[in-house]
Chain A
Amino acid sequence: MIQLDDVGQVFDGREGQVTALEKIDLHVRDGEFVTLIGRSGCGKSTLLRLIAGLIAPTTGSVQVAGDPVTGPRRDVSFMFQRPALLPWRSVLSNVMLPVEIDGGAGDRGRAAYRDQAHQLLELVGLQGFERRLPHELSGGMQQRVSLCRSLIRDPQVMLMDEPFSALDALTRTELSEELQRIKMELSTTIVFVTHSIEEAIVLADRVVVLTPRPGRMREVVDIDIPRPRSLGQDAHLTEVARISARLHGLLAEKAAELPVDELRPR
Protein backbone atom coordinates (compact mmCIF):
# COMPACT_ATOMS: atom_id res chain seq x y z
CA MET A 1 0.00 0.00 0.00
CA ILE A 2 2.79 2.40 0.93
CA GLN A 3 6.21 2.13 -0.66
CA LEU A 4 9.16 4.29 0.35
CA ASP A 5 12.37 3.88 -1.65
CA ASP A 6 15.60 5.47 -0.51
CA VAL A 7 13.73 8.49 0.81
CA GLY A 8 15.75 11.41 2.16
CA GLN A 9 14.67 14.80 3.41
CA VAL A 10 16.90 17.82 3.83
CA PHE A 11 15.65 21.09 5.30
CA ASP A 12 17.29 24.49 5.13
CA GLY A 13 17.85 25.35 8.75
CA ARG A 14 19.20 28.49 10.33
CA GLU A 15 22.63 26.93 10.58
CA GLY A 16 22.81 25.43 7.13
CA GLN A 17 21.16 22.29 5.90
CA VAL A 18 19.64 19.75 8.25
CA THR A 19 19.20 16.16 7.17
CA ALA A 20 15.90 15.07 8.70
CA LEU A 21 15.65 11.68 7.01
CA GLU A 22 18.13 9.48 5.20
CA LYS A 23 17.90 6.20 3.31
CA ILE A 24 14.37 5.26 4.33
CA ASP A 25 13.20 2.05 2.65
CA LEU A 26 9.86 0.89 3.92
CA HIS A 27 7.00 -1.13 2.55
CA VAL A 28 3.71 -1.04 4.39
CA ARG A 29 1.36 -3.83 3.36
CA ASP A 30 -2.38 -3.50 2.74
CA GLY A 31 -4.28 -3.31 5.99
CA GLU A 32 -1.14 -3.29 8.09
CA PHE A 33 -0.73 -1.29 11.29
CA VAL A 34 2.77 0.16 11.47
CA THR A 35 3.99 2.35 14.30
CA LEU A 36 6.96 4.65 13.92
CA ILE A 37 8.87 5.24 17.10
CA GLY A 38 11.85 7.40 17.89
CA ARG A 39 13.16 10.23 19.98
CA SER A 40 12.07 13.74 19.19
CA GLY A 41 13.91 15.08 16.18
CA CYS A 42 14.23 11.69 14.49
CA GLY A 43 12.05 12.84 11.60
CA LYS A 44 9.08 10.58 12.29
CA SER A 45 6.55 13.36 11.77
CA THR A 46 8.40 14.39 8.63
CA LEU A 47 8.11 10.85 7.32
CA LEU A 48 4.37 10.91 7.93
CA ARG A 49 4.02 14.23 6.11
CA LEU A 50 5.93 12.82 3.15
CA ILE A 51 3.46 9.95 2.87
CA ALA A 52 0.58 12.43 3.25
CA GLY A 53 1.90 14.50 0.36
CA LEU A 54 2.14 17.58 2.57
CA ILE A 55 5.85 17.89 1.72
CA ALA A 56 7.90 16.45 -1.13
CA PRO A 57 10.97 14.29 -0.47
CA THR A 58 14.41 15.69 -1.34
CA THR A 59 15.48 12.34 -2.68
CA GLY A 60 13.86 8.99 -3.33
CA SER A 61 10.26 8.14 -4.08
CA VAL A 62 7.05 7.79 -2.11
CA GLN A 63 4.19 5.72 -3.49
CA VAL A 64 0.71 5.11 -2.17
CA ALA A 65 -1.45 2.39 -3.80
CA GLY A 66 1.05 2.16 -6.63
CA ASP A 67 1.00 5.86 -7.55
CA PRO A 68 3.75 8.36 -6.80
CA VAL A 69 2.59 10.85 -4.18
CA THR A 70 2.37 14.37 -5.62
CA GLY A 71 0.06 15.99 -3.07
CA PRO A 72 -2.61 15.16 -0.49
CA ARG A 73 -4.82 12.32 -1.64
CA ARG A 74 -8.51 11.86 -1.08
CA ASP A 75 -8.07 8.31 0.20
CA VAL A 76 -5.36 9.19 2.70
CA SER A 77 -6.37 10.88 5.94
CA PHE A 78 -4.20 12.60 8.49
CA MET A 79 -4.80 12.84 12.21
CA PHE A 80 -2.89 15.35 14.29
CA GLN A 81 -1.54 15.47 17.80
CA ARG A 82 -4.13 18.09 18.61
CA PRO A 83 -7.80 17.55 17.73
CA ALA A 84 -7.67 20.43 15.20
CA LEU A 85 -11.42 20.94 15.29
CA LEU A 86 -12.93 24.11 13.88
CA PRO A 87 -14.29 25.80 17.02
CA TRP A 88 -17.38 27.29 15.36
CA ARG A 89 -18.56 23.98 13.92
CA SER A 90 -20.67 21.43 15.71
CA VAL A 91 -19.30 17.94 16.26
CA LEU A 92 -21.26 16.58 13.30
CA SER A 93 -20.23 19.42 11.04
CA ASN A 94 -16.57 18.93 11.97
CA VAL A 95 -16.81 15.26 11.04
CA MET A 96 -18.39 16.23 7.73
CA LEU A 97 -15.67 18.78 6.88
CA PRO A 98 -13.67 16.49 4.54
CA VAL A 99 -16.82 15.67 2.55
CA GLU A 100 -17.63 19.37 2.32
CA ILE A 101 -14.12 20.28 1.16
CA ASP A 102 -14.49 17.64 -1.52
CA GLY A 103 -17.26 19.78 -2.94
CA GLY A 104 -20.11 17.66 -1.72
CA ALA A 105 -20.74 14.02 -1.94
CA GLY A 106 -19.14 12.53 -5.01
CA ASP A 107 -20.62 9.17 -5.80
CA ARG A 108 -22.51 8.63 -2.57
CA GLY A 109 -24.67 11.60 -1.74
CA ARG A 110 -24.37 13.81 1.26
CA ALA A 111 -27.15 12.09 3.18
CA ALA A 112 -25.24 8.81 3.04
CA TYR A 113 -22.15 10.51 4.46
CA ARG A 114 -24.27 12.12 7.13
CA ASP A 115 -25.57 8.70 8.15
CA GLN A 116 -22.04 7.43 8.22
CA ALA A 117 -20.95 10.35 10.39
CA HIS A 118 -23.68 9.43 12.88
CA GLN A 119 -22.54 5.81 12.85
CA LEU A 120 -18.91 6.77 13.41
CA LEU A 121 -19.84 9.05 16.30
CA GLU A 122 -21.84 6.21 17.80
CA LEU A 123 -18.89 3.89 17.33
CA VAL A 124 -16.74 6.12 19.55
CA GLY A 125 -19.53 6.72 22.07
CA LEU A 126 -20.43 10.27 21.07
CA GLN A 127 -24.07 9.76 20.12
CA GLY A 128 -26.11 12.65 21.46
CA PHE A 129 -23.18 15.07 21.11
CA GLU A 130 -23.67 15.81 17.40
CA ARG A 131 -24.87 19.38 17.95
CA ARG A 132 -22.31 20.31 20.59
CA LEU A 133 -19.44 22.69 19.94
CA PRO A 134 -15.86 21.44 20.44
CA HIS A 135 -15.22 23.56 23.53
CA GLU A 136 -18.04 21.74 25.30
CA LEU A 137 -16.16 18.44 25.02
CA SER A 138 -13.24 17.00 26.96
CA GLY A 139 -9.87 16.50 25.27
CA GLY A 140 -10.50 12.80 24.79
CA MET A 141 -13.91 13.43 23.24
CA GLN A 142 -12.43 16.04 20.92
CA GLN A 143 -9.81 13.58 19.73
CA ARG A 144 -12.58 11.01 19.15
CA VAL A 145 -14.34 13.55 16.92
CA SER A 146 -11.05 14.03 15.10
CA LEU A 147 -10.82 10.25 14.64
CA CYS A 148 -14.33 10.17 13.15
CA ARG A 149 -13.38 13.01 10.81
CA SER A 150 -10.39 11.08 9.52
CA LEU A 151 -12.59 8.03 8.91
CA ILE A 152 -15.48 9.76 7.14
CA ARG A 153 -14.14 9.32 3.60
CA ASP A 154 -13.30 5.63 4.12
CA PRO A 155 -9.59 6.21 3.71
CA GLN A 156 -7.33 3.45 2.43
CA VAL A 157 -4.54 4.89 4.54
CA MET A 158 -4.69 6.66 7.89
CA LEU A 159 -1.67 8.62 9.03
CA MET A 160 -1.64 9.44 12.71
CA ASP A 161 0.85 11.86 14.21
CA GLU A 162 1.04 11.15 17.96
CA PRO A 163 -2.75 11.51 18.17
CA PHE A 164 -3.07 10.44 21.80
CA SER A 165 0.04 12.03 23.25
CA ALA A 166 -1.73 15.11 24.61
CA LEU A 167 -4.27 13.02 26.55
CA ASP A 168 -4.13 11.75 30.10
CA ALA A 169 -3.06 8.12 30.63
CA LEU A 170 -6.54 6.68 31.15
CA THR A 171 -8.07 8.37 28.12
CA ARG A 172 -5.07 7.34 26.11
CA THR A 173 -5.59 3.68 27.04
CA GLU A 174 -9.27 3.90 26.14
CA LEU A 175 -8.60 5.52 22.79
CA SER A 176 -5.92 3.06 21.79
CA GLU A 177 -8.37 0.24 22.54
CA GLU A 178 -11.05 1.97 20.49
CA LEU A 179 -8.65 2.47 17.61
CA GLN A 180 -7.81 -1.23 17.60
CA ARG A 181 -11.48 -2.14 17.74
CA ILE A 182 -12.18 0.11 14.75
CA LYS A 183 -9.11 -1.20 12.95
CA MET A 184 -10.34 -4.78 13.33
CA GLU A 185 -13.55 -3.84 11.49
CA LEU A 186 -11.83 -1.94 8.70
CA SER A 187 -9.18 -2.79 6.15
CA THR A 188 -7.50 0.60 6.52
CA THR A 189 -3.72 0.71 6.47
CA ILE A 190 -2.43 2.73 9.41
CA VAL A 191 0.90 4.43 10.02
CA PHE A 192 1.02 5.72 13.56
CA VAL A 193 3.76 7.92 15.00
CA THR A 194 4.39 7.81 18.72
CA HIS A 195 7.12 8.27 21.27
CA SER A 196 5.51 5.89 23.73
CA ILE A 197 7.08 2.43 23.52
CA GLU A 198 4.07 0.67 25.08
CA GLU A 199 1.67 2.38 22.72
CA ALA A 200 3.83 1.42 19.75
CA ILE A 201 3.86 -2.25 20.79
CA VAL A 202 0.21 -2.57 21.75
CA LEU A 203 -1.06 -1.05 18.51
CA ALA A 204 1.31 -2.34 15.87
CA ASP A 205 1.78 -5.27 13.57
CA ARG A 206 5.27 -3.90 13.04
CA VAL A 207 7.23 -1.26 14.92
CA VAL A 208 9.73 0.80 12.97
CA VAL A 209 12.48 2.23 15.15
CA LEU A 210 14.05 5.46 13.89
CA THR A 211 17.32 6.97 15.11
CA PRO A 212 17.69 10.74 15.24
CA ARG A 213 19.88 13.20 13.31
CA PRO A 214 19.72 12.11 10.59
CA GLY A 215 16.54 10.05 10.90
CA ARG A 216 17.35 6.53 9.79
CA MET A 217 15.61 3.20 10.18
CA ARG A 218 17.33 1.41 13.03
CA GLU A 219 15.23 -1.72 13.07
CA VAL A 220 11.82 -3.14 12.20
CA VAL A 221 10.26 -5.29 14.91
CA ASP A 222 7.37 -7.68 14.25
CA ILE A 223 4.77 -7.83 17.00
CA ASP A 224 2.74 -11.03 17.03
CA ILE A 225 0.87 -10.70 20.30
CA PRO A 226 -2.76 -11.73 19.73
CA ARG A 227 -5.34 -8.94 19.47
CA PRO A 228 -7.18 -7.23 20.99
CA ARG A 229 -4.42 -5.93 23.17
CA SER A 230 -4.77 -3.40 25.93
CA LEU A 231 -2.43 -0.67 26.94
CA GLY A 232 -3.91 -0.97 30.41
CA GLN A 233 -4.17 -4.66 31.17
CA ASP A 234 -1.55 -6.10 28.83
CA ALA A 235 1.17 -3.54 29.33
CA HIS A 236 3.00 -5.80 31.73
CA LEU A 237 2.62 -9.05 29.85
CA THR A 238 5.96 -10.77 29.49
CA GLU A 239 5.87 -10.43 25.70
CA VAL A 240 5.16 -6.72 25.84
CA ALA A 241 7.81 -6.30 28.51
CA ARG A 242 10.35 -8.26 26.48
CA ILE A 243 9.78 -6.25 23.29
CA SER A 244 9.64 -3.05 25.30
CA ALA A 245 13.03 -3.80 26.83
CA ARG A 246 14.44 -4.46 23.37
CA LEU A 247 13.03 -1.21 21.95
CA HIS A 248 14.35 0.69 24.95
CA GLY A 249 17.76 -0.73 24.13
CA LEU A 250 17.51 0.25 20.48
CA LEU A 251 16.37 3.76 21.28
CA ALA A 252 18.97 4.30 24.00
CA GLU A 253 21.97 3.23 21.96
CA LYS A 254 24.38 6.05 21.37
CA ALA A 255 26.15 6.64 18.09
CA ALA A 256 29.37 5.29 19.57
CA GLU A 257 27.74 1.91 20.11
CA LEU A 258 26.57 1.57 16.53
CA PRO A 259 28.46 -0.82 14.26
CA VAL A 260 31.47 0.89 12.68
CA ASP A 261 30.25 0.68 9.09
CA GLU A 262 27.22 2.81 9.99
CA LEU A 263 29.48 5.62 11.10
CA ARG A 264 31.46 5.92 7.92
CA PRO A 265 30.90 9.27 6.21
CA ARG A 266 28.80 8.95 3.11
Chain B
Amino acid sequence: MTKRSWLTSSPAAAVLLPVLGLIGAIALWWLATVVFSIEPYLVPGPGDVVRKFFEQPAYLLKETGVSLLETIEGFALAIVVGVPIAVVIVRSAILERLVYPLLLMLNAIPKIAVAPLLVVWMGFGQWPKVVMVLLMCFFPIVISTAQGMKSTPVELVELLRSLNASRVQEFFKLRLRYAMPQIFTGLKVAISLAVIGSVIAEFVGATRGLGYVIQQSGASADTTLAFAAITLLSIMSIVLFYALVLLEHVLLPWARETR
Protein backbone atom coordinates (compact mmCIF):
# COMPACT_ATOMS: atom_id res chain seq x y z
CA MET B 1 0.00 0.00 0.00
CA THR B 2 1.26 3.43 -0.83
CA LYS B 3 1.61 5.95 1.98
CA ARG B 4 -1.28 8.36 2.07
CA SER B 5 -0.29 11.99 2.35
CA TRP B 6 -2.17 14.27 4.71
CA LEU B 7 -3.67 15.97 1.64
CA THR B 8 -5.90 12.95 1.03
CA SER B 9 -6.51 11.86 4.61
CA SER B 10 -6.85 14.83 6.95
CA PRO B 11 -10.24 16.51 7.45
CA ALA B 12 -8.62 19.94 7.42
CA ALA B 13 -7.37 19.27 3.89
CA ALA B 14 -10.88 18.22 2.88
CA VAL B 15 -11.99 21.81 3.54
CA LEU B 16 -8.76 23.51 2.56
CA LEU B 17 -8.38 21.99 -0.90
CA PRO B 18 -11.78 23.09 -2.31
CA VAL B 19 -11.23 26.57 -0.90
CA LEU B 20 -7.79 26.66 -2.48
CA GLY B 21 -9.28 25.58 -5.83
CA LEU B 22 -11.88 28.31 -5.62
CA ILE B 23 -9.34 30.99 -4.76
CA GLY B 24 -7.16 29.81 -7.64
CA ALA B 25 -10.03 30.06 -10.10
CA ILE B 26 -10.98 33.55 -8.90
CA ALA B 27 -7.33 34.64 -9.15
CA LEU B 28 -7.17 33.37 -12.74
CA TRP B 29 -10.38 35.19 -13.57
CA TRP B 30 -9.01 38.40 -12.11
CA LEU B 31 -5.66 37.92 -13.88
CA ALA B 32 -7.40 37.36 -17.22
CA THR B 33 -9.44 40.58 -16.93
CA VAL B 34 -6.28 42.53 -16.06
CA VAL B 35 -3.84 40.95 -18.54
CA PHE B 36 -6.21 41.14 -21.50
CA SER B 37 -7.70 44.43 -20.19
CA ILE B 38 -11.24 43.21 -20.78
CA GLU B 39 -13.92 45.87 -20.46
CA PRO B 40 -16.13 45.41 -17.36
CA TYR B 41 -19.30 45.52 -19.52
CA LEU B 42 -18.02 42.35 -21.25
CA VAL B 43 -16.45 40.48 -18.35
CA PRO B 44 -16.19 42.26 -15.00
CA GLY B 45 -13.41 41.27 -12.61
CA PRO B 46 -14.10 39.63 -9.25
CA GLY B 47 -13.55 42.96 -7.48
CA ASP B 48 -16.20 44.67 -9.63
CA VAL B 49 -18.70 41.94 -8.84
CA VAL B 50 -18.13 42.20 -5.09
CA ARG B 51 -18.35 45.99 -5.27
CA LYS B 52 -21.60 45.70 -7.19
CA PHE B 53 -23.06 43.46 -4.50
CA PHE B 54 -22.18 45.95 -1.76
CA GLU B 55 -23.77 48.81 -3.73
CA GLN B 56 -27.19 47.26 -3.09
CA PRO B 57 -26.82 44.31 -0.72
CA ALA B 58 -30.33 44.55 0.73
CA TYR B 59 -31.93 44.43 -2.70
CA LEU B 60 -29.84 41.52 -3.94
CA LEU B 61 -30.32 39.51 -0.76
CA LYS B 62 -34.05 40.07 -0.90
CA GLU B 63 -34.17 38.77 -4.49
CA THR B 64 -32.01 35.83 -3.44
CA GLY B 65 -34.57 35.13 -0.73
CA VAL B 66 -37.35 35.11 -3.32
CA SER B 67 -35.51 32.59 -5.53
CA LEU B 68 -34.53 30.50 -2.52
CA LEU B 69 -38.12 30.27 -1.32
CA GLU B 70 -39.37 29.21 -4.77
CA THR B 71 -36.62 26.64 -5.02
CA ILE B 72 -37.33 25.11 -1.62
CA GLU B 73 -41.10 25.12 -2.14
CA GLY B 74 -40.81 23.46 -5.55
CA PHE B 75 -38.26 20.99 -4.22
CA ALA B 76 -40.48 20.04 -1.28
CA LEU B 77 -43.42 19.65 -3.65
CA ALA B 78 -41.29 17.43 -5.90
CA ILE B 79 -40.61 15.15 -2.91
CA VAL B 80 -44.29 15.10 -1.97
CA VAL B 81 -45.24 14.21 -5.56
CA GLY B 82 -42.22 12.12 -6.53
CA VAL B 83 -42.03 9.66 -3.64
CA PRO B 84 -45.64 8.46 -3.95
CA ILE B 85 -45.19 8.05 -7.72
CA ALA B 86 -42.12 5.93 -6.99
CA VAL B 87 -44.09 3.85 -4.49
CA VAL B 88 -46.78 3.21 -7.08
CA ILE B 89 -44.18 2.22 -9.67
CA VAL B 90 -42.56 -0.24 -7.28
CA ARG B 91 -45.87 -1.66 -6.13
CA SER B 92 -47.47 -2.37 -9.47
CA ALA B 93 -45.79 -3.55 -12.65
CA ILE B 94 -48.92 -2.59 -14.60
CA LEU B 95 -48.91 0.98 -13.31
CA GLU B 96 -45.18 1.17 -13.91
CA ARG B 97 -45.66 0.36 -17.59
CA LEU B 98 -48.58 2.73 -17.78
CA VAL B 99 -46.92 5.71 -16.11
CA TYR B 100 -43.24 5.34 -16.91
CA PRO B 101 -43.32 6.51 -20.56
CA LEU B 102 -45.38 9.51 -19.51
CA LEU B 103 -42.83 10.42 -16.88
CA LEU B 104 -40.04 10.06 -19.41
CA MET B 105 -41.91 12.24 -21.85
CA LEU B 106 -42.60 14.86 -19.23
CA ASN B 107 -38.93 14.86 -18.31
CA ALA B 108 -37.82 15.09 -21.93
CA ILE B 109 -39.76 18.30 -22.59
CA PRO B 110 -37.40 21.31 -22.71
CA LYS B 111 -38.58 23.16 -19.63
CA ILE B 112 -37.82 26.61 -21.05
CA ALA B 113 -40.51 25.95 -23.68
CA VAL B 114 -43.10 25.36 -20.98
CA ALA B 115 -42.26 28.46 -18.98
CA PRO B 116 -44.46 30.89 -20.97
CA LEU B 117 -47.33 28.39 -20.85
CA LEU B 118 -47.10 28.21 -17.07
CA VAL B 119 -47.43 32.00 -16.98
CA VAL B 120 -50.52 31.79 -19.20
CA TRP B 121 -52.04 29.14 -16.94
CA MET B 122 -51.03 30.43 -13.55
CA GLY B 123 -50.30 34.11 -13.90
CA PHE B 124 -47.32 36.07 -12.64
CA GLY B 125 -47.29 34.94 -9.03
CA GLN B 126 -45.18 32.37 -7.29
CA TRP B 127 -47.03 29.31 -8.57
CA PRO B 128 -45.57 29.03 -12.10
CA LYS B 129 -42.08 29.24 -10.53
CA VAL B 130 -42.81 26.55 -7.97
CA VAL B 131 -44.30 24.31 -10.64
CA MET B 132 -41.29 24.86 -12.90
CA VAL B 133 -38.96 23.81 -10.08
CA LEU B 134 -41.16 20.78 -9.52
CA LEU B 135 -40.99 19.83 -13.20
CA MET B 136 -37.23 20.24 -13.25
CA CYS B 137 -36.45 18.11 -10.25
CA PHE B 138 -39.12 15.48 -9.65
CA PHE B 139 -37.67 12.96 -12.11
CA PRO B 140 -34.39 12.13 -10.33
CA ILE B 141 -36.37 11.87 -7.10
CA VAL B 142 -38.80 9.35 -8.62
CA ILE B 143 -36.05 7.28 -10.21
CA SER B 144 -33.81 7.13 -7.16
CA THR B 145 -36.66 6.37 -4.77
CA ALA B 146 -38.02 3.58 -6.99
CA GLN B 147 -34.55 2.15 -7.49
CA GLY B 148 -33.82 2.29 -3.78
CA MET B 149 -37.01 0.49 -2.83
CA LYS B 150 -36.49 -2.16 -5.48
CA SER B 151 -33.02 -2.88 -4.15
CA THR B 152 -34.30 -4.04 -0.75
CA PRO B 153 -32.61 -7.41 -0.13
CA VAL B 154 -34.96 -10.39 -0.42
CA GLU B 155 -33.92 -11.84 2.91
CA LEU B 156 -35.05 -8.69 4.69
CA VAL B 157 -38.40 -8.80 2.90
CA GLU B 158 -38.74 -12.45 3.84
CA LEU B 159 -37.81 -11.65 7.45
CA LEU B 160 -40.67 -9.17 7.69
CA ARG B 161 -43.02 -11.69 6.08
CA SER B 162 -41.98 -14.32 8.60
CA LEU B 163 -42.78 -11.86 11.38
CA ASN B 164 -46.25 -11.42 9.89
CA ALA B 165 -45.64 -7.73 9.21
CA SER B 166 -48.37 -5.85 7.37
CA ARG B 167 -47.74 -4.24 3.99
CA VAL B 168 -47.69 -0.85 5.66
CA GLN B 169 -45.10 -2.00 8.18
CA GLU B 170 -43.05 -3.55 5.41
CA PHE B 171 -43.10 -0.22 3.61
CA PHE B 172 -42.29 2.09 6.50
CA LYS B 173 -40.04 -0.13 8.57
CA LEU B 174 -38.11 -1.62 5.69
CA ARG B 175 -38.44 -0.47 2.08
CA LEU B 176 -38.57 3.27 2.62
CA ARG B 177 -35.78 3.17 5.20
CA TYR B 178 -33.67 0.98 2.98
CA ALA B 179 -34.18 3.37 0.06
CA MET B 180 -33.07 6.44 2.02
CA PRO B 181 -29.42 6.55 0.88
CA GLN B 182 -30.51 6.28 -2.74
CA ILE B 183 -33.27 8.83 -2.22
CA PHE B 184 -30.62 11.22 -0.95
CA THR B 185 -28.55 10.61 -4.06
CA GLY B 186 -31.60 11.65 -6.10
CA LEU B 187 -32.22 14.67 -3.89
CA LYS B 188 -28.66 15.88 -4.36
CA VAL B 189 -29.05 15.73 -8.13
CA ALA B 190 -32.48 17.34 -7.90
CA ILE B 191 -31.50 20.31 -5.74
CA SER B 192 -29.16 21.79 -8.37
CA LEU B 193 -31.85 21.31 -11.00
CA ALA B 194 -34.33 23.00 -8.68
CA VAL B 195 -32.21 26.17 -8.58
CA ILE B 196 -31.99 26.14 -12.38
CA GLY B 197 -35.76 25.71 -12.53
CA SER B 198 -36.42 28.79 -10.44
CA VAL B 199 -34.16 30.90 -12.70
CA ILE B 200 -35.83 29.64 -15.87
CA ALA B 201 -39.24 30.49 -14.46
CA GLU B 202 -38.07 33.95 -13.39
CA PHE B 203 -36.81 34.69 -16.91
CA VAL B 204 -40.40 34.61 -18.07
CA GLY B 205 -43.06 36.79 -16.57
CA ALA B 206 -41.47 37.56 -13.24
CA THR B 207 -40.90 40.79 -11.34
CA ARG B 208 -38.88 39.26 -8.54
CA GLY B 209 -35.98 36.91 -7.97
CA LEU B 210 -32.40 36.54 -9.17
CA GLY B 211 -33.52 35.26 -12.59
CA TYR B 212 -35.42 38.50 -13.06
CA VAL B 213 -32.37 40.49 -11.92
CA ILE B 214 -30.20 38.73 -14.51
CA GLN B 215 -32.70 39.34 -17.26
CA GLN B 216 -33.07 43.02 -16.38
CA SER B 217 -29.32 43.50 -16.20
CA GLY B 218 -29.05 41.99 -19.67
CA ALA B 219 -31.54 44.52 -20.98
CA SER B 220 -29.55 47.41 -19.49
CA ALA B 221 -26.14 45.88 -20.34
CA ASP B 222 -25.24 45.81 -16.64
CA THR B 223 -22.99 42.75 -16.93
CA THR B 224 -21.54 43.27 -13.48
CA LEU B 225 -24.98 43.03 -11.87
CA ALA B 226 -25.68 39.85 -13.85
CA PHE B 227 -22.41 38.39 -12.57
CA ALA B 228 -23.31 39.31 -9.01
CA ALA B 229 -26.69 37.58 -9.34
CA ILE B 230 -25.11 34.52 -10.96
CA THR B 231 -22.58 34.32 -8.15
CA LEU B 232 -25.37 34.48 -5.58
CA LEU B 233 -27.20 31.68 -7.43
CA SER B 234 -24.10 29.49 -7.40
CA ILE B 235 -23.59 30.10 -3.69
CA MET B 236 -27.23 29.26 -3.05
CA SER B 237 -26.95 26.05 -5.03
CA ILE B 238 -23.80 24.96 -3.23
CA VAL B 239 -25.21 25.77 0.21
CA LEU B 240 -28.39 23.81 -0.52
CA PHE B 241 -26.34 20.85 -1.76
CA TYR B 242 -24.17 20.74 1.33
CA ALA B 243 -27.22 21.18 3.54
CA LEU B 244 -28.48 17.89 2.06
CA VAL B 245 -25.10 16.25 2.55
CA LEU B 246 -25.17 17.34 6.19
CA LEU B 247 -28.73 16.12 6.63
CA GLU B 248 -27.82 12.75 5.16
CA HIS B 249 -24.83 12.54 7.45
CA VAL B 250 -26.99 13.18 10.51
CA LEU B 251 -30.00 11.07 9.51
CA LEU B 252 -28.24 8.06 7.98
CA PRO B 253 -25.09 7.35 9.97
CA TRP B 254 -25.41 3.67 8.99
CA ALA B 255 -25.37 4.32 5.26
CA ARG B 256 -21.74 5.43 5.07
CA GLU B 257 -20.48 2.03 6.16
CA THR B 258 -22.95 -0.47 4.80
CA ARG B 259 -23.26 0.44 1.17
Contacts and interface: CB of A to CB of B under 8 A. Distances in A.
A77 B162 contact: yes
A223 to B, nearest CB: 28
Given A87-B258, A133-B254, A80 B159 contact: yes
Interface in A77-114: 77-78, 80-82, 84, 86-88, 97-98, 100-102
A74 B254 CA distance: 29
Contacts of B253: 133
A190 to B, nearest CB: 15
Interface in A216-259: none
A88 B252 contact: yes
B254 A72 contact: no
Contact of A97 (B158, B163, B252, B257): B163
B177 A88 contact: yes
Contacts of A125: none
Nearest to A98: B163
A78 B161 CA distance: 10
A86 B156 contact: yes
A135 interface: yes
B155 A101 contact: no
B231 to A, nearest CB: 39
Contact of A80 (B158, B169, B177, B180): B158
Which secondary structure characterizes the binding site on chain B? helix
Interface in B167-207: 169, 173-174, 177, 180
Interface in A105-164: 133-136
A146 to B, nearest CB: 9
A68 interface: no
A74 B164 contact: yes
A54 B155 contact: no
B230 interface: no
A101 B180 CA distance: 20
Nearest to A80: B155
Nearest to B166: A101
B160 interface: yes
Which of B153, B155, B174 lies at the interface centre, i.e. has the most chain A CB atoms within 10 A of its CB? B155
A97 B174 CA distance: 11
A100 B161 CA distance: 14
Nearest to B256: A135
Interface string B128-164: 0000000000000000000000000101101111111
Contacts, number: 57
Interface residues of A, number: 24
Interface string B220-259: 0000000000000000000000000000000011110110
A54 B163 contact: no
B165 interface: yes
B162 A71 contact: no
Contacts of B254: 87-88, 133-135
Contact of A78 (B162, B173, B180, B257): B162
A86 B173 CA distance: 9
A191 interface: no
Contacts of A74: 164
Contacts of A100: 173
A10 B197 CA distance: 55
A200 interface: no
B258 A54 contact: no
Nearest to A136: B257
Contacts of A197: none
Which of B159, B173, B174 lies at the interface centre, i.e. has the most chain A CB atoms within 10 A of its CB? B159
Contacts of B165: 101
A47 to B, nearest CB: 15
A258 to B, nearest CB: 34
B173 A101 contact: yes
Interface string A46-76: 0000001010000000000000000111100
Given A72-B162, A87-B255, A88-B255, 9 more contacts: A72-B163, A78-B158, A80-B159, A87-B254, A88-B254, A100-B173, A101-B163, A101-B169, A134-B258
22 contacts: A52-B162, A54-B158, A54-B161, A54-B162, A72-B163, A78-B162, A84-B155, A84-B158, A84-B159, A86-B173, A86-B174, A88-B177, A88-B180, A88-B254, A98-B163, A100-B173, A101-B164, A101-B165, A102-B163, A133-B253, A134-B254, A135-B254
